[in-house]
């Protein structure tokens, strides 16, 4: 089917249309079904307008009810005259709902009382299978990308903390100048506290690990600065929006 068209099953159904006259015999209709490898015939009047459909099930029911009438019986006697149909461009979902509502397996595509195609339950299932495969492919790609990211977030979390700490040290050195003291940088004990807070916060899945890290660093720095009554150097460079989930 045409992958670029969302309703490819309906568009291509026109190539599968096989018509029969209402005056044809049931035997002739059965031969046409078999010869064209289709499960449904469109029944047209003399002007080419659709007046019914004849399915394999209609033929089987007729043969089961009256085996001797296969040659004498007419298509008009066993066809389905009360039609459910759809226009071109109908979505696969709408086609599936119509089929389920009417309990049918074939749906004519009609324009101005003329059948331009027939979509079958096989078309619907085939299209659904394509969509399922596409969704599964996307899910697999997401999983392949997501699992390493989640795994990496726990493996490299502590090294990242240390790297950020050193960045903070450099920033503090630049900002603090000659006044740099241990209060303007994170000590090993402070980093240990940040790591411990980070590990405790990992139990809260709704927060981003990197945002938690920055928050913990700022909280600790404010506490240290407040206790020492010294200005807190800016480390805004540590703010970023990471979308990696914990």
139 found inside a domain: no
Three-state DSSP at 67 gives helix
User: How do residues 24-59 score in pLDDT, each as one tens digit?
Assistant: 988 899 999 989 888 899 999 999 999 999 999 888
145 found inside a domain: no
Give the domain range for residue 215.
156-238
Number of domains in the chain: 2
User: How do residues 162-209 score in pLDDT, each as one tens digit?
Assistant: 566 566 555 555 544 444 443 344 455 555 555 566 555 555 555 555
Give yes or no: residues 21 and 73 share one domain: yes
CATH number at residue 44: 3.10.580.10
Give the residue-averaged pLDDT of 71-94: 86
Pull the structure tokens for residue 222.
């404010």
Give the residue-averaged pLDDT of 215-237: 48
Give yes or no: residues 97 and 175 share one domain: no
120 found inside a domain: yes
141 found inside a domain: no
Checking if the pLDDT of 244 tops 50, the result is no
- pTM to 2 decimal places: 0.50
Give yes or no: residues 92 and 183 share one domain: no
Cα distances from 212 to residues 146, 201, 202, 203, 208, in angstroms, run: 20, 7, 9, 12, 6
């Amino acid at each position: 089917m045409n992958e670029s068209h969302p309703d490819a099953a309906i568009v291509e159904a026109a190539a599968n249309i096989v018509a029969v006259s209402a005056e044809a015999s049931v035997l002739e209709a059965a031969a046409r079904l078999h010869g064209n490898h289709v499960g449904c015939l469109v029944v047209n009047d003399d002007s080419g307008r659709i007046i019914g459909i004849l399915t394999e099930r209609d033929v089987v029911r007729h043969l089961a009810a009256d085996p001797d009438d296969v040659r004498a019986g007419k298509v008009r006697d066993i066809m389905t005259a009360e039609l459910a149909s759809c226009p071109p461009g109908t979505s696969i979902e709408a086609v599936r709902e119509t089929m389920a509502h009417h309990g049918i397996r074939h749906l004519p595509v009609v324009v101005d009382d003329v059948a331009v195609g027939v979509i079958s339950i096989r078309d619907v299932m085939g299209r659904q299978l394509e969509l399922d495969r596409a969704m599964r492919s996307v899910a697999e790609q997401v999983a392949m990308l997501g699992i390493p990211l989640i795994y990496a977030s726990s493996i490299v979390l502590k090294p990242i903390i240390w790297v950020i700490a050193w960045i903070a040290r450099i920033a503090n050195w630049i900002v603090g100048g000659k006044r740099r003291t241990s209060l303007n940088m994170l000590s090993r004990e402070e980093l240990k506290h940040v790591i411990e807070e980070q590990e405790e916060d990992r139990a809260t899945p709704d927060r981003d690990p990197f945002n938690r890290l920055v928050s913990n660093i700022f909280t600790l720095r404010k506490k240290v600065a407040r206790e020492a009554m010294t200005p807190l150097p800016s480390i805004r460079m540590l703010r970023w929006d990471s979308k990696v989930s914990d």
